[in-house]
Amino acid sequence: MKIYIGIDVGSVSTNVVAMNQNYNVIFKEYIRTNGQPLDSVKKGLKMLEKNLDHSFDSVVGVGTTGSGRQLAGIMVGADIVKNEITAHASATIQFHPDVRTIFEIGGQDSKIIIIKDKMVVDFSMNTVCAAGTGSFLDHQAERLGVPIQEFGDLALTAKKDVRIAGRCTVFAESDMIAKQQYGFSKAEIIKGLCDALVRNYINNLGRGKNLEPPFIFQGGVAANKGIKAAFEKEIGHEVIIPQHYNVMGAIGAAILAREYIEKTGQKTKFRGFGAADFDFSPTSIECGACANSCEVIKVDLNGKTVAMWGDKCGKWTNSLVG
């Protein structure tokens, strides 16, 4: 069996998947990044190797995505390094070819991707405000003393609607406290929060876009039934949650790696599972050669410099041959 590996390094979680030739996901792991992206990748690879226990012949392609895609790509020897938007869309299109709208809500950011004829035609991404992301929910769950896992189910038990101002986290918080004092139950408040998040998300990201079914909802937050229900109410249509909703980015990276390998006929640049034990050290140096004072990222692998970037003039980037 030949496998493709996809790695999605985000600020909250690092996801690693392995996919076989029939696009079946045979391994997936969701690891907390905890500010240590490289360690999480190493950990993920080790788990993959152990879990599959030589049940496959070879790794034929590797792709990375997510905010840490570049560094992770160099470390593992990725064949393709892709942005999250393209990666997410590729995975969804693979499993739901008729998809028209993707809602993706992760820990730190959220996106809407519009698809037509299996192609991304528009997208938007929220990063400025936390109110439309998973951390907003985590935070509020903590305030209310409800474990985030139970959050969604609790929301579904609400009997009444309560409107919570969801424009911004700070307002939502004070409004939530006020509503609690009015005597609304926890379940109702939670449902109110889910509604607020979805409303806020659609207002911010869906502005000026035609959102059409089928709707696919993915990202870590898709596990939350309350949010799914809120989406369905908001748009008045069924929302589908894909089987691998929380690792779609990584799957997309694996698919893109496969496409790339098949198109170019190249052999994978994967450094092997030993990569996890390599001495891999990224450092940043401040170049003082001109007034730009660029912060140049230098990556050493086993004592040899393998990549450099961040220079405005190309002086360092070009100093590497091959």
Partner 1 sequence: MKVSFPYMGCVTGYKKILEMLGHEVIMPQKPTQKTIDLGVKYSPEFICFPFKVMMGTYIEAVQRGAEVIISSGGHGPCRAGLYGEVHEKILKHMGYDVQVIIFDSIFRDFGTFYTHLKKVRNGASLIKLIKDIRFAFQIICRMDEIEKKIKILRAYELNRGDFNRAWVEIQKLYDKCWTQQDLEKASKIAHQMINDIPIRKVKDDERIRVGIVGEIYVIMESSVNMNIEQNLNNMGVEVENVQYISDWVKHNTRGFFGSSKAEQMIGKARRFVKMNCGGHDMENIGWMVDFKERGFDAVIHLMPFGCLPELITQSAIPTISKELKLPILSLSLDEQMGTANNQTRIEAFIDLVRNLKSAPKTEVKEIEDEVWNAKLLKQELAG
Tell me how many degrees the CA angle 252-126-188 measures, rounded to the nearest 5. 100
Told to check if 177 binds ligand SF4 by CB under 6 A, we report no
Residue 211 binds: one of ligand SF4, partner 1, none (C-beta under 5 to 8 A by kind): partner 1
Residue 186 binds: one of ligand SF4, partner 1, none (C-beta under 5 to 8 A by kind): none
Contact by Cβ (8 Å): 259, 31: no
CA distances from 231 to 21, 103, 142, 199 (A): 34, 9, 23, 8
Pick between residue 202 and residue 307 the one whose CB is nearest to partner 1: 202
Residue 311 binds: one of ligand SF4, partner 1, none (C-beta under 5 to 8 A by kind): ligand SF4
Report the alpha-carbon distance of residue 28 to residue 284 in Å, rounded.
Answer: 32
Q: Which of residues 204-263 bind ligand SF4 (CB under 6 A)?
A: none
Binding footprint of partner 1 on the chain (CB under 8 A): 67, 82-86, 109, 116-117, 119-123, 125, 127, 165, 167, 199, 202-203, 206-212, 291-293, 312-315, 317-318
Told to check if 95 binds ligand SF4 by CB under 6 A, we report no
Pick between residue 53 and residue 286 the one whose CB is nearest to ligand SF4: 286
Q: Minimal distance in Å, beta carbon 231 to partner 1?
A: 14
Pick between residue 212 and residue 300 the one whose CB is nearest to partner 1: 212
Pick between residue 65 and residue 246 the one whose CB is nearest to partner 1: 65
Q: Which of residues 260-299 bind ligand SF4 (CB under 6 A)?
A: 287, 289-290, 292-294, 296
Report the alpha-carbon distance of residue 105 to residue 133 in Å, rounded.
Answer: 6
Instruction: Return all residues near 44 (Cβ < 8 A) that are at least 6 apart.
Output: 7, 14, 15, 16, 29, 31
Report the alpha-carbon distance of residue 204 to residue 208 in Å, rounded.
Answer: 10
Q: Minimal distance in Å, beta carbon 207 to ligand SF4?
A: 21
Pick between residue 119 and residue 321 the one whose CB is nearest to ligand SF4: 321
Contact by Cβ (8 Å): 249, 99: no
Cis link prior to 213 (omega < 30° from 0)? no
Pick between residue 260 and residue 309 the one whose CB is nearest to ligand SF4: 309
Among 98, 312, 318, 319, binds ligand SF4 (CB under 6 A): 312
Residue 289 binds: one of partner 1, ligand SF4, none (C-beta under 5 to 8 A by kind): ligand SF4
Q: Minimal distance in Å, beta carbon 138 to partner 1?
A: 20
Residue carrying the six token digits 């589908």: 240
Report the alpha-carbon distance of residue 48 to residue 2 in Å, rounded.
Answer: 14
* Number of Cβ within a 10 Å radius of residue 264: 10
Contact by Cβ (8 Å): 271, 256: no
Contact by Cβ (8 Å): 166, 197: yes
Pick between residue 208 and residue 303 the one whose CB is nearest to partner 1: 208
Tell me how many degrees the CA angle 103-111-216 measures, rounded to the nearest 5. 15
Instruction: Count interface residues toward ligand SF4 (CB under 6 A).
Output: 12
Q: Minimal distance in Å, beta carbon 68 to ligand SF4?
A: 22
Residues within the interface to ligand SF4 (CB under 6 A): 287, 289-290, 292-294, 296, 311-313, 315-316
